Chains A and B, each alone.
Chain A
């Protein structure tokens, strides 16, 4: 027994506990929410312009929390600096972690700077709240012009394109940690990185939907339905892709005729009939894929906000179940003895449910700090001087027509 919690008393054990389930889950959310931000930054989908700054902040907060999971699971976390001083590159997949993670952090810092630079300058110039913080965050830049903003957008596009690659690398390599472990028949499949990336996209989009709606609710702003529905459309698209990947995985792991003996035996005894069958069929496939697809088919669910929340939360649960089915189920298959290894996840202490909640709480606190520090609110954006005149003209002409007080500008911003 370890720290009075995770059961490690047997000859064979489940060595990687619920923290390692959370690790790919969080990094999947990082990758997924980053890709949501790049919908606006790289693919210039104007609809998602409002969401992009929020997505960058969510992605960064989760990225900062991600290593807590691995450190929380390691027995000697204070040795982590060995990864820098004697990392086993390029032979060990885990050794890549620190390299990719640090590169990603640097990239995200640049992304944060350029995504908010113009707004920071304008907020500072007009002394709108946290004036000193704004000045600090501009790092000395004083360029509030439209041309400067356009240049930022170009830089952001390149950064985000690199960021998508990094996100795929960051998450794909975690899939590779499992895919390269030949001793575990359920892990050792080259599909693993792709499976992980696809479900990362699914969970990231669902998370951004939930975050967007919650943020709007809590700041008493109307939810921009076109944006939320647009996200749901992408969600369903990626859920279909995930369904395809799961089908391929099922065919190449579960059917005895198509795969190695231990793989199909393990799949059938653990995931199909054994202790994890409920999580596999019920949560991973049923809730994670079934609920969003059925919800999409029924217009009442698809069109309502509650239905969207149902679909997104179902996806978030389903992807967590998928990580569980990889990490825990893979280790339930015994290597040397007969029958399966049993697993008990403790509620408190080392590698427990409580630590998982704690990691998410840390991510949440970091997100709150970031949200306080950066001007991400779409209703709080100060346009460049050139823009402002244009907007004022618009407001004047619209109020002359006697329309209501909510005005949508070109970028889809909702002004009240």
Chain B
């Protein structure tokens, strides 16, 4: 009986400790977030001293140890980068009923991007320029260029690839695939946002009002292109903005200006004389995952249908530097050889 009593006391102690610990943890987190929110509001109005003070005293507040935010990074510029996302041209926002966009010709602009895969050499310059233009934290990407391989290793007695499992002839094709937010005309990410923090501007841009974001992650799960991510510094959803801060000042997006082969072309689809309109009129274009019904506004020329629609299992991703380090794919690439055979993917030995 006494032992049972002690056990009960111990159970009660453990449960109360656990409850108290969770409450304390939430309180601590709420406090740090409140301080940050206050700092961010000030940042929004251009008073960056508070933000900088906050980051100086707590540089690792999100355990994100790599970026040390300081003046040289541009984070403390008086009219900080976040305030530039504000809508200086007062273009109307919509959060749902995207059919309103149908009479697009009546709208002044409809910004789109054309990516000409015949010209992409996979140099990743756009990835770098986007990171530097938009202060994208380490580990996350607003745009990235996948180097993928489609096709299969075919068993062939005269083949050139000799493995323990037999001899193969490569019947494969390799190409680079720049990816970014498609600024969809029917964006599921906007529709699912519970607080209307993300929206579609009537000129086509899909943007996020960061201080309103709950960080619930619904939009990130709802985007079929994995274009969204959690910004580890802001602790909100984030994604490509078509460089709205440049666009509203009459500049082209950073990734477009830095593209060495002019594979990325940006422009106004409502202007029949723009380069994008002419390219789209002249060459067959397609989108990624058209079956999702999201009406993407990034047009690809010469896109392989296997990659566009099937995704995941239809191709191998090579060069994993812009690919998640938490995928089996990464494990495979760093540890083992992958062979695409008619039986499916086979793991060879090293």
Interface residues of A (CB under 8 A from B): 1-5, 7-13, 15-16, 68, 70-80, 82-83, 86-88, 91-95, 97, 177, 180-184, 261-262, 265, 269, 331, 333-344, 350, 354-355, 357-359, 361-362, 364-365
Residues of B within 8 A of A74 (CB): 214-217
Contact B218 A79 (CB under 8 A): no
A23–B263 alpha-carbon span in the complex (Å): 45
CA of A239 to CA of B126 in the docked complex: distance in angstroms? 54
Closest to B64 in A: A1
A363 CB, nearest partner CB in chain B, Å: 9
Contacts of A68 in B (CB 8 A): 22, 26
Which of B30-38, B158-166, B243-251, B267-275 lines the interface with chain A? B30-38
Q: A2-B63, A92-B192 are in contact. List 6 more A-B contacts (CB 8 A).
A: A2-B232, A11-B226, A86-B196, A357-B22, A358-B21, A364-B15
Pairwise interchain contact A15-B220, C-beta atoms closer than 8 A? yes
Cα separation A333 to B311 with both chains bound (whole Å) = 11
Jot down 10 A-B pairs with beta carbons below 8 A, ordered by A: A3-B63, A11-B324, A13-B229, A75-B214, A76-B214, A82-B197, A86-B212, A183-B224, A341-B324, A365-B15
Docked-complex contact B329 and A339, CB < 8 angstroms: yes
Residues of B within 8 A of A13 (CB): 229-230, 324, 326
Decide if B235 touches A75 in the complex (CB within 8 Å). yes
CB distance from A24 to the nearest CB of B (A): 14
Bound state CA distance, A215 and B168, in angstroms?
A: 68
Cβ of A182: which chain B residues have Cβ within 8 Å of it? 188, 222, 224, 292-293
Taking CB as reference atom, which chain A residue is nearest B21?
A: A358
- Check if A365 sits within 8 Å of B196, measured CB to CB: no
Stretch at the interface among B108-116, B296-304, B313-321: B313-321
Q: Is B52 an interface residue (CB 8 A)?
A: no
**Contacts A95-B194, A341-B327 given; does A1 touch B63 at CB 8 Å:** yes
CB pair A337–B327 under 8 Å, yes or no, is: yes
Q: Given A74-B214, A95-B195, A262-B312, are A342 and B188 also a contact pair (CB < 8 Å)?
A: no
| With A1-B63, A94-B216, A358-B22 as contacts: A183 and B311 at CB distance below 8 Å | no
> Do B221 and A331 touch (CB < 8 A)?
yes
Query: B194 near A92 (CB under 8 angstroms)?
Result: yes
Contact B325 A9 (CB under 8 A): yes
Given A86-B196, A91-B96, A358-B21, check contact A77 B64 (CB 8 Å). no
Q: A80 — nearest CB in chain B belongs to which residue?
A: B214
Asked if residues B15 and A361 are in contact (CB atoms below 8 Å), the reply is yes
A362 lies within 8 A of B19 (CB):
yes
Contact of A337 with B146 in the complex, beta carbons under 8 Å: yes
State the Cβ distance, B239 to closest chain A Cβ, in Å.
Answer: 13
Q: B23 to chain A: which residues have CB within 8 Å?
A: 358, 362
> Which residues of B are found within 8 Å of A335, using beta-carbon distances?
223-226, 311-312
Asked if B194 and A88 sit within 8 Å, CB to CB, the answer is yes
B230-A8 in contact (CB<8A): yes
- B130 at the binding interface (Cβ < 8 Å): no
Whether A342 lies near B235 (C-beta < 8 A) is: no
A338 touches B194 (CB 8 A): no
Question: Contacts A9-B324, A75-B236, A362-B19: A337 and B312 contacting too (C-beta < 8 A)?
Answer: yes
Interchain CB contact under 8 A, B235 and A15 = no
Cα A24 to Cα B95 with chains together (Å): 27
Verify A336–B222 contact, CB threshold 8 A.
no
Given the known interface contacts A77-B30, A265-B313, A335-B311, the answer about A342 and B327 at a Cβ–Cβ threshold of 8 Å is yes
C-alpha gap A82/B63 in the complex (Å): 26
In the bound complex, how far is the Cα of B27 from the Cα of A362, in angstroms?
14
The docked-state distance in angstroms from the alpha carbon of A182 to that of B218 is 12
Residue of B nearest to A344 (CB): B326
A334 to B311, CA, bound (A): 9
Within 8 A of A (CB), among B146-202: 146, 179, 188, 191-197
Interchain CB contact under 8 A, B212 and A79: yes
Kindly list chain A residues whose C-beta atoms are within 8 Å of the C-beta of B64. 1-2
Q: Does B144 contact A (CB under 8 A)?
A: yes
Tell yes or no: B213 within 8 A of A by CB: yes
Question: A336 is contacted by which of B96, B179, B192, B328 (Cβ under 8 Å)?
Answer: B179
Compute how far the CA of A337 lies from the CA of B144 in the bound complex, rounded to whole angstroms.
12
